[in-house]
């Protein structure tokens, strides 16, 4: 099985998790395409001024890698600056948010959300 980038569906989620602006979500694969316990495998694009609001994960964990841009990441109440190549993990029972920290460039992320057994 394969998926061409030109054929992937783009989803636009306004004020995602209470954040600002519109997050563009491009799922690499859909859950029906694989058998692992992944809820989501996707690239996310946050334009300047855009954020994904603070939220908690329960029964799942999220792993995010910054592909390009600069982020302000809220890691359970601690704000850290992240850039391309950096990775963050939000485990079950933890909370996080992420915002584009650049006034000019997009923040592009690769995110995987896994259900826990």
What 3-state class would DSSP assign to 46? strand
Question: Cα(35)–Cα(52) distance, rounded to whole angstroms?
Answer: 27
**Would you say residue 4 lies in a domain?**
no
Q: Cα-Cα-Cα-Cα dihedral of 60, 30, 17, 59, to 10°?
A: -10
Edge to edge, the sheet with strand 78-83 lists: 51-56, 95-100, 70-75, 78-83
pLDDT at residue 43, rounded to an integer: 98
**Domain, as residue range, for 59:** 16-115
pLDDT at residue 31, rounded to an integer: 82
pLDDT at residue 70, rounded to an integer: 98
Instruction: Look at the chain and report how many structural domains it folds into.
Output: 1
Q: Give the count of beta carbons closer than 10 Å to the beta carbon of residue 77.
A: 8
pLDDT at residue 24, rounded to an integer: 98
Which residues of the chain are under the pLDDT cut of 70? none
- Note the pLDDT tens digit of each residue in 41-62: 999 999 999 999 999 999 999 9
**Would you say residue 83 lies in a domain?**
yes
**Would you say residue 46 lies in a domain?**
yes
pLDDT at residue 1, rounded to an integer: 87
**Would you say residue 7 lies in a domain?**
no
pLDDT at residue 63, rounded to an integer: 98
Strand partners, 82: 71
* CATH at 77: 2.60.120.10
């Amino acid at each position: 099985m394969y998926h061409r980038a030109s054929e992937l569906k783009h989803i636009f989620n306004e004020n995602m998790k209470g954040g600002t602006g519109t997050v563009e979500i491009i799922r690499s694969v859909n859950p029906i395409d694989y058998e692992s316990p992944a809820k989501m495998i996707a690239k996310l694009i946050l334009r300047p001024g855009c954020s994904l609001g603070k939220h908690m994960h329960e029964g799942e964990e999220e792993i995010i890698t910054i592909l390009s841009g600069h982020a302000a990441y809220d890691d359970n109440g601690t704000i850290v600056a992240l850039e391309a190549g950096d990775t963050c993990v939000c485990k079950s029972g933890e909370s996080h948010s992420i915002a584009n920290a650049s006034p000019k460039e997009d923040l592009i992320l690769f995110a995987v959300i896994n259900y826990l057994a």
